[in-house]
Amino acid sequence: MKTLSQSISELFKGVLPNPYVFAATFLAFIVLFTIVTFLVYKPTKKFLEKKRAFLQEHIDSTIANNLKSSELEKQRNTELQEAQRIKAEIFEKAQQEANQIVEQSVKQAHLTANQIVADGRKSVEQMEANFLARNKKDVLDSAFFITTKFLGSKVEHNEQIQQELINQLEKEMEA
């Protein structure tokens, strides 16, 4: 039997490679590592960095656009509220002006109606006064005419009576 130290040394003798094979394997590993690094790893790393930068740029632009759109939405809401406030003010002002115009029109209509009524009363009073004046004149003319006729007939009648009296007196005096 072999001694323990010989058996361990035989065991490790097969484990340690030949130094030439070891050097060739090591050199092949370094060449392969260099080739993989320059041909695969670095281009892949550059591609992934570009992709990450591209994605980050789009994420940043999306965030910026979201912020900008929220700012624009706030601005639009503010402008909309301002427009609604202005609309309400304009509506209220127009309503007040319309009410004022209606009140002025009603006042003017009342004044015009009162003026028309007053003018109508004056016209009626004037027509009544003219009618009364004409009627008085007509009554006076008629009364004068009737009186003239009456007195004229009385005068004729009186003359006739006087003539009869005179004739009677003459007859009595003759008699």
174 vs 175, higher pLDDT: 174
Distance of alpha carbon 112 from its chain centroid, rounded?
34
With a cut of 60, say whether residue 1 has pLDDT above it.
Answer: no
**Where are the chain's structural domains?**
4-128
Q: What average pLDDT does the segment 159-171 reach?
A: 76
Q: Give dist(CA 129, CA 124) in Å, integer.
A: 8
User: Are 17 and 25 in contact, with CB atoms under 8 Å apart?
Assistant: yes
pLDDT tens string 93-132: 999 999 999 999 999 999 999 999 999 999 999 988 888 8
Stated pTM of the model: 0.42
Cα distances from 34 to residues 5, 17, 48, in angstroms, run 41, 24, 20
**116 membership: H or E segment, kind and range:** helix 42-174
pLDDT tens string 9-64: 666 666 666 778 778 889 999 999 999 899 988 999 999 999 999 999 999 999 99
